[in-house]
Amino acid sequence: MKQHNFGAGPCILPQQVLEATSKAVMNFNGLSVLEISHRTKDWESVMDECRSLWKELLNIPDGYQVLFLAGGASTQFMTVPYNLLEKKAAYLDTGVWASKAAKEAVLFGETVIVASSKDKNYSYIPKGWTIPSDADYFHITTNNTIYGTEIREDFDSPVNLVADMSSDIMTRKVDVAKYAMIYGGAQKNVGPAGVTFVIVREDILGKVSRLLPSMVDYRLHIKNDSMYNTPPVISIFVMKEMLKWIKEVGGIEKMEELAKQRAEILYNEIDRNPIFTGTTDHADRSYMNICFVMNEGHKDKEAAFMEFAKSRGMVGLKGHRSVGGFRASCYNALPVESVQELVKCMQEFEKNEK
């Protein structure tokens, strides 16, 4: 039976990407891609291609560097304040990832939470806040993977804007020039676990007075083309193949169109179907992680629906424990047909309930 992978991460990858990777694992110019030195021309060309695909697809302006690091987005929670926090940092608290990021900043200096939606279990994006103009940077999480809310606007910030885009990078056009830094784990929309992308405007670096250990110093990674130490070779290879696929399919514009299409199909059904309900404010609904629960009067059927959906090939639908219910993660490689099949499940389950 065909499986429909709604997993929240690591994510579904296109067949073409898996095939190209399998091939390179078996034979990459004579050896396995897993066996070659990263100090070879063959590998350097993979790095170069990956970097230029990032720049091309996201239209990254001059003055920015693209790094491929290890340690996951969670390591960046610490690396950002290490490099940027001199006196004061500001954070928008839109979920557990955002608050984990802020928690690390506290270790380095004064950390201000500009606004939080914790009062309603992060079911909306706070509005009406102001960014302190004396902060070294303002940190946001553009897509809140656990709760299903998203900021899809690139707003103006009076201070350096830093964004964790782990779960919505390459799913919409981004005006990179509005950000001082964008980072994230690759494993939600642009590849497998193991590699973290960092897009950083070079002129913001070198301004803090503390001394930086080598591995957290962005300037050192820039100087060494992300190969100060052994890079996560296979993860970068898969990411490069994923970016090639995005380009072939039609680039970011196409990814954005597909994301919108998938989200509309599913939210329309959630709103129409009397046994389901969404968990977030309509205005802040994520295109990536679509969270829903069963309505009052049907709550006891959640396990039954999960089983039913599973029997139809739906994988990874279980909501995060802090929200409950269901979460359909609709990342770049998820075919629109998978969402249509999920909608069919919801409609059939509704019929059986009557």
Using the minimum distance from each CB to ligand PLP, give the nearer residue, 145 or 279: 145
Active-site residue, 300 included:
no
Q: Which is the catalytic residue, given 43, 54, 136, 188?
A: 188
Asked whether position 141 contacts ligand PLP by CB under 6 A, the answer is: yes
Asked whether position 277 contacts ligand PLP by CB under 6 A, the answer is: no
Query: Cα dist. 208→81, 82, 221 in Å?
Result: 10, 8, 17
User: Can you tell me which of 164, 217, 269, 284 binds ligand PLP, judged by CB under 6 A?
Assistant: 164
d(CA 59, CA 17): 23
Residue span binding ligand PLP (CB under 6 A) among the ranges 11-19, 163-171, 221-229, 317-325: 163-171
Query: Cα dist. 54→22, 110, 328 in Å?
Result: 23, 33, 27
Least distance to ligand PLP, CB of residue 171, Å: 12
Asked whether position 148 contacts ligand PLP by CB under 6 A, the answer is: no
Active-site residue, 103 included:
no
Residue span binding ligand PLP (CB under 6 A) among the ranges 11-19, 70-78, 119-127, 305-313: 70-78
Four-point Cα dihedral 292, 293, 298, 300, nearest 10: 140
Total Cβ atoms within 10 A of residue 20: 18
Total Cβ atoms within 10 A of residue 62: 7
Asked whether position 192 contacts ligand PLP by CB under 6 A, the answer is: no
Q: Are 277 and 293 in contact (CB under 8 A)?
A: yes
User: Can you tell me which of 157, 160, 167, 338 binds ligand PLP, judged by CB under 6 A?
Assistant: 167
Helix runs in the chain, H state only: 15-26, 41-58, 72-84, 96-105, 218-223, 233-249, 251-272, 302-311, 336-353
Asked whether position 185 contacts ligand PLP by CB under 6 A, the answer is: yes
Residue span binding ligand PLP (CB under 6 A) among the ranges 66-74, 169-177, 309-317, 344-352: 66-74
Element (DSSP H or E) covering residue 310: helix 302-311
Asked whether position 149 contacts ligand PLP by CB under 6 A, the answer is: no
| Omega before 10 within 30 of 0, i.e. cis | yes
Least distance to ligand PLP, CB of residue 162, Å: 12
Least distance to ligand PLP, CB of residue 194, Å: 9
Using the minimum distance from each CB to ligand PLP, give the nearer residue, 255 or 343: 255
Least distance to ligand PLP, CB of residue 73, Å: 3
Using the minimum distance from each CB to ligand PLP, give the nearer residue, 111 or 143: 143
d(CA 176, CA 16): 28
d(CA 231, CA 38): 8
Residue 185: partners with Cβ closer than 8 Å, 6 or more residues away: 9, 72, 73, 74, 166, 193, 195, 196
Active-site residue, 2 included:
no
Q: Which residues bind ligand PLP (CB under 6 A)?
A: 9, 72-74, 97, 141, 145, 164, 166-167, 185, 188
Return the active site residues.
Answer: 97, 164, 188
